[in-house]
Amino acid sequence: MSAPEHLPEIDNGLLRFLTCGSVDDGKSTLIGRLLFDSKTILADTLNAIEKTSAKRGMSAVDLSLLTDGLQAEREQGITIDVAYRYFSTGTRKYIIADAPGHEQYTRNMVTAASTANLAIILVDARKGVLTQTRRHSYLASLVGIPHLLVAVNKMDLVDYEQAAFERIKADYLAFADKLGIKDVRFIPISALAGDMIVERGERLGWYDGPTLLEILEAVPAAHTEQAEDFRFPVQFVCRPQDSANPELHDYRGFMGRVESGEVAVGDAVTVLPSGAASRVKAIEIGGVRQERAIHEQSVTLLLEDEIDISRGDLIVKSAEAPEPVKQIDATVCWLSETPMSPARTYLVRHTTREVKAKVAKIAHRVDVNTLAHEEAGQLAMNDIARITLKLAQPIVADPYADNRATGAFIIIDESTNNTVGAGMIG
């Protein structure tokens, strides 16, 4: 087979983003519009939604039907879970996490936000900044999404007036300041008419910024532009002793993903929590050697010295080694219908390590609408709270604000094996 010639060029990486808003904000229409205008929607899918639109007595094709999900959701006309959508512009691939907006779905929004690097927050131009706008923005900042894009939608219903847009922008900035979000941008759009999404349209001439898609194309794909410390949680240890190849008898490969930073052959590394030190002898992918590995690459590390390492250990550069801790302060979002009880023992999954944990203290619960702090004896589904956890064994963590991968954890209920909570350390 010869080298591929006519492949579409995608060299601008992959961006994961989140859309938040309720059905009324036109979120589904916006996603439908992005998929439609980027030509991701194929004829048979379009036929199907044309038929459905007609069946429901609509005169035009309802693009929001493109994101229609499960049977149960169609029957109830609501979205109950995060859906993932894909499109590509030819230069960048996109993964959209489509999260339902209702208050009871805080857990869905947190789930969708956990892997996103940009959030589009939809505001209805007629209604302005609402309680739910504040809630979505708070959750986006809580989960550390680095870029927020406030899309003032339904500009067609306010005669494309600049004043409506500017008023909403000023309102939003007044409270966004309190959240400490660094990168907030604003854009006027009409998802229904397609203005300022992919095409500029002709009715928003007063707006001279980029279109929504241009913003998506230009935003950095990496979670952070800052240099980060090297963090490598060991997932699996490869010891092919039974191999027919005698050269592999002493092979010990430590398999994992570079969660942050980078590493090169020869680097001095420390294995935590044991503290054993060594140097990187080789870096491989599928047995093929390379000189270095960067953020997000899945590789195998070989070390100079024979050290006992297993799944759950963390390999770091010796100069950047954090201290193992047995107690953590964290912000948690409770995800389960069964309330969190301080009497119970849970399992905390942090990187590839699992440790038993108990709640030592619930400092306060946060009202996601007003950001007010409240006292709480237990936590119910969708509650956000500051808590302290005592751990049975040490973990090696960073503050979530510094490192998403080593600052995040989930809480598992061992009796059901369900994921019941999500936590951010710091």
Task: Using CB under 8 A, pick the residue from 21, 201, 253, 322 that binds other proteins.
Answer: 253
> Which parts of 306-417 are beta strand (E)?
314-317, 324-334, 345-350, 353-366, 373-374, 384-396, 408-413
Q: Residue 175 corresponds to which tokens in the numbers above?
A: 């409270």
Q: How many residues interact with other proteins (rule CB under 8 A)?
A: 84
Enclosing H/E stretch for 188: strand 183-188
Task: Using CB under 8 A, pick the residue from 135, 257, 317, 365 that binds other proteins.
Answer: 257
What binding mask, one character per residue, do residues 196-215 give for other proteins by CB under 8 A, x or -? --------------------
Residues sharing a CB contact under 8 Å with residue 91, sequence separation 6 or more, in sequence order = 9, 10, 11, 12, 217
Phi, psi for residue 362 in degrees, rounded to 5? -105, 105
Interaction of residue 231 with other proteins, rule CB under 8 A: no
Distance CA 142, CA 331 (A): 9
Phi, psi for residue 123 in degrees, rounded to 5? -125, 135
Q: Are 139 and 145 in contact (CB under 8 A)?
A: no
Interaction of residue 64 with other proteins, rule CB under 8 A: no
Residues from 289 through 318 that contact other proteins (CB under 8 A): 294-298, 311
Task: Using CB under 8 A, pick the residue from 102, 171, 175, 220 that binds other proteins.
Answer: 220
Report in angstroms how near the CB of residue 38 gets to other proteins at its nearest: 12
Interaction of residue 163 with other proteins, rule CB under 8 A: no
Q: Are 284 and 239 in contact (CB under 8 A)?
A: no
3-state secondary structure of 376: coil
Report in angstroms how near the CB of residue 166 gets to other proteins at its nearest: 26
Task: Using CB under 8 A, pick the residue from 38, 388, 393, 418 that binds other proteins.
Answer: 418
Task: Using CB under 8 A, pick the residue from 5, 202, 250, 375 that binds other proteins.
Answer: 5
Interaction of residue 88 with other proteins, rule CB under 8 A: yes
Task: Using CB under 8 A, pick the residue from 25, 62, 68, 383 that binds other proteins.
Answer: 68
CA angle (177 as vertex; 173, 181 as ends), nearest 5: 100
Interaction of residue 264 with other proteins, rule CB under 8 A: no
What binding mask, one character per residue, do residues 12-51 give for other proteins by CB under 8 A, x or -? -xx---------------------------xxxx--x---
Closest CA to 223 of 420, 390, 15: 15
Report in angstroms how near the CB of residue 110 gets to other proteins at its nearest: 7
Interaction of residue 239 with other proteins, rule CB under 8 A: yes
Interaction of residue 53 with other proteins, rule CB under 8 A: no
Question: Which segment (17-25, 152-160, 198-206, 288-296) binds other proteins by CB under 8 A?
Answer: 288-296
Task: Using CB under 8 A, pick the residue from 22, 64, 89, 111 that binds other proteins.
Answer: 111
Interaction of residue 236 with other proteins, rule CB under 8 A: yes
Residues from 320 through 359 that contact other proteins (CB under 8 A): 335, 349-352
Identify which of residues 296 and 374 has a Cβ nearer to other proteins in the complex: 296
Sign of torsion over alpha carbons 230, 231, 237, 238: negative
Phi, psi for residue 246 in degrees, rounded to 5? -65, -25
- The residues that bridge with 195 in the sheet, in sequence order, are 190, 199
Interaction of residue 371 with other proteins, rule CB under 8 A: no
**Proportion of the chain in helix, strand, coil states, percent, rounded to 5:** 25, 35, 40
Task: Using CB under 8 A, pick the residue from 37, 38, 50, 93 that binds other proteins.
Answer: 93
Find the helix packing angle between 106-113 and 131-142, rounded to 10°.
40
Enclosing H/E stretch for 138: helix 131-142
